[in-house]
Amino acid sequence: MSAISTADPQRDCQEIVRHLATVVFPWDTTRSLELALFRTFASVRIGGLLHATGEFERRAGKRYDDTDLIINEIIENGFDSPRGARAIARMNSLHARFRIANEDFLYVLSTFVFEPIRWNERFGWRRMSESEKLAWFSFWRQLGERMRIRDIPETMPEFESYGRAYETANFRFTQANQRVALATRELFAGWFPALLRPLVRRSIHALLDPPLLAAFGLPAAPRWLIWTAEHALRLRAGALRCLPKRRRPKLRTQIPRGDYPHGYRIESLGPPPAD
């Protein structure tokens, strides 16, 4: 029996999450966290704030890299490590520049808990165990405490209910939401050859639920494309079940980045201070 399978979900959540995100489900974790961030853009206040900074429209690639690096410094090293602590300090410093409601912080945190779990239930090559889900929740809850987020629900059902209620109250169409979503969609499409980009854009729509599409003013993907996208992801999961399992961690902090050809300092991630 492995050490992970006998670990305590709350006490050992940093080790469990690191293993899930870098060894067991590295690709799925990245895609699900991208979807989690995309989901936050549908909030009127969050989408409005992100649009007001202009960063997503002007430097979408760098904003993606900076967010990805900060999050993965914490996941890969743990929030109690020196690098994890520095990443949290940098994140808190960046957030402190803006007036962000505690309920918005709570919602963003909830997406980081539940979008990976939902993705896993739909497209994972295996399902997370209940202990792994609890560890995932405990990790993000403890991180939220270090971000000084107040009133974080103590149980997963309470937190999931909070997220659903928040979406009902705060998801609606604005041009700001749409512009941030379109800039991010174009970033993702730009990772593919030009010939494939129209299909990639429509495939992104296929993975978004109706409330998100409505909040962004985006058309629904045709049913055949929704079916194709979902079945392609399930076929991938089936293939992975038959292949040798990954043994070494895939670390996103080690991926070469065009914006940081010579590496990066945690304290330099994020946009510069406003003039």
pLDDT number for residue 1: 40
Q: Is residue 184 part of a domain?
A: yes
Q: Is residue 98 part of a domain?
A: yes
Q: Is residue 275 part of a domain?
A: no
139 CB neighbour count, 10 Å cutoff: 27
pTM of the model: 0.93
pLDDT number for residue 271: 85
Return the amino acid letter for 250.
K
Q: Is residue 8 part of a domain?
A: no
CB 63, CB 70: distance < 8 Å: no
Residue pLDDT, tens place only, 63-79? 999 999 999 999 999 99
Q: Is residue 249 part of a domain?
A: no
- 188 is in which domain, residue-wise? 13-243
Q: Is residue 256 part of a domain?
A: no
167 CB neighbour count, 10 Å cutoff: 19
CB 255, CB 78: distance < 8 Å: no
Residue pLDDT, tens place only, 171-229? 999 999 999 999 999 999 999 999 999 999 999 999 999 999 999 999 999 999 999 99
Q: Is residue 237 part of a domain?
A: yes
Radius of gyration of the chain (CA): 18
Q: Is residue 186 part of a domain?
A: yes
Length of the chain: 275
Total domain count, the chain: 1
Q: Could you identify the residue written with the tokens 């995309």?
A: 38
